[in-house]
Amino acid sequence: MLPSDEPHHHDPVVVTALRKTYSSVDAVRDITFTVRRGQITGLLGPNGAGKTTTLRSMLGLSKPTAGTALIEGRPFTTHRHPVRVVGAVLDASGAAPGHSAIEHLRTYAPLAGADDARIQTLLAEVDLTKAARLRVGKFSLGMKQRLAIATALLGDPKILILDEPGNGLDPQGMAWLRRFLRSYADGGGTVLVSSHLLTELEQVVDHVVLIASGVVIHEGTLAALLDSAPAGSAGRATLESAFLNLIEQTETHR
Ligand SMILES: Nc1ncnc2c1ncn2[C@@H]1O[C@H](COP(=O)(O)OP(=O)(O)OP(=O)(O)O)[C@@H](O)[C@H]1O
């Protein structure tokens, strides 16, 4: 690990030994990772690995059985204005189908302290200016995803947490999402994005947290991971080949 890659107490998100048990089933067993400021971190792993459970615990939507999740130094729910600290999208289909995009944003704006000018800026940022008065029921999945992101950004948070934002997006939607996340991070924002779509995320993440069966099997920069992994069939390591290789190693050492 490079010195600059070591966790610091002032990192925006620090998750330590998180565990969540439902009756007798461990949804997550032992999750520890750090999200760095100004970077895009991918929380990556197969279906059922524990990504959603981890994010819900971090946001106070689910009470962890053990462990802690600190956002800017304290539990998310203890912040005075949580929506100004973190913008989160766990489910992009939350908007009422009868509302237009602008009506939807106006419903949530007071909570976030956003005015109409902020709504217009956000609509432009997520490419929905032209669709602002269209009913959400007529939106494509990509448009719903972009509206959900705009809603999360109403309070101008510096941390963005997205659960599987690539789900159901076409290549164009995916390219838009990557550009958007990169520009948010370049502006000093911090992104945590979960996904099981390793190939789609490989092009945009700086830092990776790989989870499988409720435990972190690797954390580090994407560059270091690809450097250390054996070359795949494409002649070079990919995030997917590195992940499969790590899973194999974890299983043989179990
Ligand atoms: N409320 C619950 N009650 C019982 N088991 C649960 C509950 N929520 C999640 N689990 C289990 O915990 C494990 C982790 O689920 P989780 O949804 O966090 O995974 P995930 O990585 O987000 O997967 P996916 O990509 O499918 O969304 C799964 O085996 C799941 O069945």
Tell whether the torsion through CA atoms of 17, 82, 93 and 121 is positive or negative: negative
Q: CA-to-CA distance for 107 and 163, rounded, in angstroms?
A: 22
pLDDT at 196: 92
Which among 241, 216, 211 is positioned nearest to 226, based on CA atoms? 241
Structure confidence by residue, pLDDT tens digits, 213-253: 999 999 999 999 988 888 866 678 899 889 988 888 877 66
Pocket of ligand 1 (CB under 6 A): 22, 25, 27, 45, 47-53, 196
Closest protein CA for atom 1 of ligand 1: 22
Radius of gyration of the chain (CA): 18
pTM tops 0.90, yes or no: yes
Structure confidence by residue, pLDDT tens digits, 122-156: 999 999 999 999 999 999 989 999 999 999 999 99
Ligand 1 atom nearest to 52, measured from its CA = 22
Structure confidence by residue, pLDDT tens digits, 79-93: 999 999 999 999 888
Structure confidence by residue, pLDDT tens digits, 151-184: 999 999 999 999 999 887 889 999 999 999 999 9
Q: CA-to-CA distance for 150 and 144, rounded, in angstroms?
A: 10
